[in-house]
Amino acid sequence: MLKDEELEQLYRDTFPAAARVLQRMGANLKDARDAFHDALLIYLEKTSKGAVDIRTSAKAYIVGTARIVWLNTRKDRPANHDVDTLLQQEVADYLADEDSYEESSEKSALEYLRMAGQKCMEILTSFYYLNIPLSEIATRFGFNGTRSATVQKYKCIEKIRSQLKTNKHHAHRVS
C-alpha cells in the first residue's frame, strides 16, 4: 500500500495526463476528477492484492482505467471496442458495487457498520480492503497474537450480521 506522500506524488504526476485525455472526450474538470478518483481506487485495490501487471506503468494503467470509467458512466456512451476487455470487466465490477451503494438500503446498511464501532471498522477494512495480514493487524491493534485478532474479526462480522438480520426482519414486519 502506498504511503500518503507517494499517493500524492502519483496524483500530481498522473491527474493532468488523465484530465487531458478525458477533456478531449468531453469531460469537464469535475467529471474528470470523479473518473480519475475511481481509476485511482481501482489501481490501489489491485496493487494491494499484488495483482498489477508490472509491464504496465502506474500512470498508463490509471489513465487507461479513467478513460474506461468515463466511457462507462456517460449516459450516451459510444460503442467501445478498442479497450482491454479484462480492464473493462474490472471497471464494470467496480461500478456495479458503486451502483449498489446508490440503493438506499445499502446507504442505511453502512450505518450498521458504523454501529459496530470504530475499532471493528478499522480491523475489517484493514483485512478485507487493504489486504493487510492478520499477524500485522494483531500488532497494529495490540492483540495478543494472530488468533485473538482473528476471533475479534469474526466477532465484528457477527455484530454487523445480526444488525443486518434484525433490520431485515423489522422491515418485513413494517411492510
Partner 1 sequence: MRTELAEIMQIDQYLLGKLSADESTALDAMRVIDPVFSEKIEVQQRVHRLVRLFARKQKKRKLEIMYHRLINDSSFKHQLKNIFS
| Integer Cα distance of 108 and 116 in angstroms | 14
- Binding partner 1 (rule: CB under 8 A), the pick from 69, 91, 137, 160 is 160
The site map against partner 1 for 81-120 (x = CB under 8 A) is ----------------xx-xx----x--xx-xx-------
| Integer Cα distance of 84 and 110 in angstroms | 33
* Closer residue to partner 1 (CB): 55 or 144: 144
| Integer Cα distance of 165 and 69 in angstroms | 34
| Integer Cα distance of 163 and 159 in angstroms | 6
* Closer residue to partner 1 (CB): 68 or 160: 160
| Integer Cα distance of 101 and 11 in angstroms | 25
Comparing CA positions, the residue from 32, 39, 38, 34 lying closest to residue 16 is: 32
Give residues in contact with partner 1 (CB under 8 A): 7-8, 11-12, 15-16, 19-20, 23, 28-29, 33, 37, 40-41, 44, 97-98, 100-101, 106, 109-110, 112-113, 121, 124-125, 128-130, 150-151, 154-155, 157-158, 160-161, 164-165
